[in-house]
Amino acid sequence: MAAVVSAKWERWHPRLLALYAEGHTHADVASALSTESGQPFTPAACRQKYAEMKGQMAPEQVHRPMIQRPRVSQIIELNPQPFAVPIPRVARSNHGHDAKCWTALIFTDTHVPYQDEAALSVVYGLIRDVQPRVIVHLGDLLDCFKISRFTKDRNHILNTQDEIDGARRILHHVSELAPQARKVWLEGNHEHRLDELLNSLPGTASDLTRLRSIQQAMTWPALLG
């Protein structure tokens, strides 16, 4: 009897799986198999047989042993990791124990007129949100392309005054965002191109650079002020 029952199921295995794959209920599967085979199939028997078949089809789980990988420092001789060095404490303030720490924002290499507006928008956002006590530009606020010693692009239509105007707009916007902050603008090698130009004036034109009024006017604080 068991052999007959087993043969019945083996014959209808594909059809059983197909019906369940189509989303039929246990009762629908039992009804369809009974009609097609002319033999009785109950919903409970179909459910049990389907569960058994799914268990047989499930892939065998592979258990891999955990391997402890060595750290880089165990393979290559390295200097101590930075976080292994004690972090020094903030120096005691000359203004007493009640003094608070203050913030500074530092940016550099704007290179007007080649400034990255997306990067500047980040700088502006930080100034607006943080309200730093000190703002420092480390140099190369302007590119000073026209007064450089390098070969000029004839299609470059902006002159030095255009660069100064663009740089002043940046400085003005920074001052608007943080009017109380101390601003420090350092000269970079691109700003130094102005001195190189004045020092290289030929002939009697170089004598003009000795005039005190010109010396005062031809400085970046005066030009950007």
Q: Are 9 and 2 in contact (CB under 8 A)?
A: no
Asked if pLDDT for residue 147 goes beyond 60, the answer is: yes
Instruction: Give the tens place of pLDDT for each residue, 14-42.
Output: 888 888 888 888 888 888 888 888 888 88
CA–CA distance, 222 with 225 (Å, rounded to integer): 5
CA–CA distance, 109 with 223 (Å, rounded to integer): 18
Instruction: Give the tens place of pLDDT for each residue, 91-124.
Output: 666 655 555 678 899 999 999 999 999 999 999 9
Q: Report the pLDDT value the prediction gives residue 168, as an integer from 0 to 100.
A: 95
Q: Are 9 and 37 in contact (CB under 8 A)?
A: no
Token readout for 5 is 């029952």
Query: Residue 48 — very low, low, confident or very high, per pLDDT cuts 50/70/90?
Result: confident
Most confident of the ranges 2-11, 58-67, 87-96, 176-185: 176-185
Q: How many CA atoms lie within 13 A of 197 on its CB side?
A: 16
- CB-count burial class (<10 Å; 0-12, 13-18, 19+) for 167: buried
CA–CA distance, 12 with 37 (Å, rounded to integer): 8
Q: Are 196 and 144 in contact (CB under 8 A)?
A: no
- Which residue has tokens 């020092």? 199
Q: Are 139 and 108 in contact (CB under 8 A)?
A: yes
Q: Which amino acid is at 11?
A: R
Q: Report the pLDDT value the prediction gives residue 225, as an integer from 0 to 100.
A: 83
Asked if pLDDT for residue 185 goes beyond 90, the answer is: yes
Average pLDDT, the chain: 81
Q: Which amino acid is at 1?
A: M
